[in-house]
Amino acid sequence: MTSTGEAVQFWVLAVVAVGGALGMVLCRKAVHSALCLAGTMIALAICYMAEGAVFLGIVQIVVYTGAIMMLFLFVVMLVGVSSADSVKEVLKGQRVAAVVGGLGFGVLLCAGIANANLHSFQGVGAANQAAGGNVPGLAALIFTRYVWAFEVTGALLITAAVGAMVLTHREATEVKQSQRELAEQRVRLGTQVTPLPAPGVYARHNAVDAPGLLPDGTPAEISVNPTLRQRGQMRHLGSDLLRRMGELEQSTAGWLGRKAPKPRSGAELARVESEETEQREVESK
Amino acid sequence: MNPVNYLYLAALLFTIGAVGVLVRRNAIVLFMCVELMLNACNLALVTFSRLHGNLDGQIIAFFTMVVAAAEVVVGLAIIVSVFRTRHSASVDDTNLMKL
């Protein structure tokens, strides 16, 4: 039997590990899955240390949660953070069959463990002490009995590194366009010849998510970064702000004795107002 | 508490990982599930090492970690190169060789 302290530690860590694993499978976004998996791996690392495998526990934290999970997060960044899983089922009934099959598999595994004759245990304390510690014990084994496997893993790691470089290498198939060619192409297409307008030109909002206003007061969506637009993080200017700015323009024109600018079109104001009421309804829900 | 409980935990984590591989469609999450299965195996190996009182189980778990690192490097490189050509990380979209 192990100590009570280890029992308490095991039950706490087991809950964390299983919760993290379930979270990894159930979260729809890849980033959340990666964070759940990192939690599970840290819990497992503490389990290793509790079982006397101190070196493996440290390696688990350094290699798995440190290096491998960061690699995962980098690839998630490359592939796109927003790439959520599709809920569409391609094979009919596959998910239900997978869950049922998994349950059966788990029951079989647990039944096998329960039937095994594992009523006593020896602990690695004696083995660690004989070699003068966990790390010297592992080193003695790696460099004597398992030295061939160790050499082969070295070759495997080199092959993997070369393979990754070969797989992700991209030959430049077209010549990089110069600034002159880009400018000529812009004029030829004619969609947006001038540079894009800057966001938030009014002094009230100079954040990049606030669209700049055109002379007639309508927001210029093109002035906001396309990434923010796609994520739906563009700040919508309220209708009363637009109206107040219209009044300001009118009074300025009056002071300067200029012709007043064209009042803001009613359709634009109505669109903004309907959006606002929609938002309020969503919030009240 | 009997250390066999660690084996039950390993079995549970392995099962969750296997179900995840079958259920999920995002290639990155599939890889994470495979990693979870490898970790569950490592936990079982460390527990066996403790049950039998020698360090060989820990050595094998160590080699498993090395192989897992190599596997992740190549696998993620494959995902990135597939994403470049197909613009998708979903395993359902990798169907060029389908009849």
**Domain with B1 in it:** 1-84
Q: Tell me the C-alpha distance between A53 and B49, whole Å.
A: 9
Residue A267's pLDDT is what?
55
**Same domain for A205 and A147:** no
What is the pLDDT of chain B when averaged over all its residues? 89
Which residues of chain B have a CB within 8 Å of the CB of A41?
Answer: 39
The more confidently predicted of residues B95 and A57 is A57
The domain total for chain A is 3
Is B22 contained in some domain? yes
Is B15 contained in some domain? yes
**Same domain for A213 and A155:** no
Residue A127's pLDDT is what?
84
Which residues of chain B have a CB within 8 Å of the CB of A75?
Answer: 28, 76, 79-80
Residue B10's pLDDT is what?
95
Residue B36 to residue A21, Cβ atoms within 8 A: yes
Is A176 contained in some domain? no
Is A183 contained in some domain? no
Sign of the torsion formed by the C-alpha atoms of A245, A243, A261 and A208: positive
Residue B22's pLDDT is what?
92
- The CATH number linked to A9 is 1.20.120.1200
**Same domain for A205 and A157:** no
CB-CB contact of A213 with A238 (8 Å): no
In order of A28, A165, A253, the CA distances from A55 in angstroms are 34, 30, 77
Q: What is the mean pLDDT of each run of 10 residues along chain A (285 residues)?
A: 88 95 91 93 94 92 90 86 66 89 94 86 83 90 94 94 88 83 89 81 66 75 82 74 74 76 57 60 59
Nearest beta carbon to residue A10 from set B1, B23, B88: B1
Residue A263's pLDDT is what?
56
Query: Residue B88: closest CA among chain A residues belongs to which residue?
Result: A79
Q: Tell me the C-alpha distance between A76 and A87, whole Å.
A: 19
The domain total for chain B is 1
Is A177 contained in some domain? no
Outline where DSSP puts E strands in chain A.
212-213, 219-220
Is A41 contained in some domain? yes
Mean pLDDT of B63-92: 87
Is B99 contained in some domain? no
Test the B interface: residue of A42, A79, A91, A156 with most B CBs within 10 Å: A79
Is A107 contained in some domain? no
**How many Cα atoms occupy the beta-carbon half-sphere of A165 within 13 Å?**
5
Residue B7's pLDDT is what?
93
Is A168 contained in some domain? no
- The CATH number linked to B76 is 1.10.287.3510
**Domain with A75 in it:** 1-79
Model pLDDT for residues B24-38, shown as the tens digit of each residue = 888 899 999 999 999
Residue A45's pLDDT is what?
95
CB-CB contact of A59 with A68 (8 Å): no
Is A243 contained in some domain? yes
Residue A207's pLDDT is what?
74
Round the CA-based radius of gyration of chain B to a whole number and report it.
17
**Same domain for A75 and A25:** yes
Nearest beta carbon to residue B55 from set A78, A124, A170: A124
Q: Tell me the C-alpha distance between B51 and B45, whole Å.
A: 10
Which residues of chain A have a CB within 8 Å of the CB of B85?
Answer: none
Nearest beta carbon to residue B53 from set A67, A126, A149: A126
Residue A253's pLDDT is what?
78
Which residues of chain A have a CB within 8 Å of the CB of B59?
Answer: 138, 141-142, 146
Is A92 contained in some domain? no
Q: How far is A176 from chain B (nearest CA, A)?
A: 18
Q: Tell me the C-alpha distance between B31 and A68, whole Å.
A: 11
Q: Tell me the C-alpha distance between B90 and B54, whole Å.
A: 43
Residue A229's pLDDT is what?
81
pTM: 0.73
Residue A51 to residue B56, Cβ atoms within 8 A: no
**Same domain for A207 and A157:** no
Residue A21's pLDDT is what?
95
Which residues of chain A have a CB within 8 Å of the CB of B67?
Answer: 153, 156
Is B2 contained in some domain? yes
